[in-house]
Amino acid sequence: MKAVVTVIGKDMVGILAKVSTVCANNNANVAEVTQSILEGYFCMVMVIEISKLTCQLDELEASLKASVPDMVIHVMHEDIFNSMHRI
């Protein structure tokens, strides 16, 4: 099982470090990271392995939000993207 973490906001030092620390603390393995600048905003998409996650997905989202409070963060199950964008 995988989940997709998206982080959007103004670029600053240490975003990736903070986000991956929270993932590590909750036993989520980072499988893939893509980042780019969209319309001047920093956008990072991170795919994480959540089979052995030690907390609930919404708790992970809450901890991520707390670690980088200025950024907009979403944590969503990969099933959503697979069902919406794949036939």
Partner 1 sequence: MVNFNDIMETITMIQDENLDIRTITMGISLLDCADSDIERSCEKIYKKITAKAKDLVSTGEAIEKKYGIPIVNKRISVTPIAMLVAASGGDPVKYALTLDRAARDVGVNFIGGFSALVQKGFSAGDRELINSIPRALAETQFVCSSVNIGSTKAGINMDAVKMMGSVVKEAAELTKDNQCVGAAKLVVFCNAPEDNPFMAGAFHGPGEPDVVINVGVSGPGVVRSALAKLPADAPLNEVAELIKKTAFKITRMGQLVGTEASRMLGVPFGIIDLSLAPTPAVGDSVAHILEEIGLEQCGTHGTTAALAMLNDAVKKGGVMASSSVGGLSGAFIPVTEDAGMIDAARKGVLSVEKLEAMTAVCSVGLDMIVIPGETSSSTISAIIADEAAIGMVNSKTTAVRVIPAIGLGDGDELDFGGLLGKGPVMKLRPQSSQKMIDRGGRIPAPMQSLKN
- Return the sign of the alpha-carbon dihedral for residues 54, 59, 14, 51: positive
Among 12, 27, 32, 52, which residue interacts with partner 1 (rule: CB under 8 A)? 32
Question: Residue 80 CB, nearest distance to partner 1 (Å)?
Answer: 5
| Number of residues counted as binding partner 1 (CB under 8 A) | 28
Contact indicator for 76, 4 with CB cutoff of 8 Å: yes
Q: H or E stretch including 6? A: strand 2-9
CB of 34 to partner 1, least distance (A): 5
Per CB under 8 A, residues contacting partner 1 are 4, 6, 8, 32, 34, 36, 38, 43, 45, 47, 56-58, 61, 72, 74-86
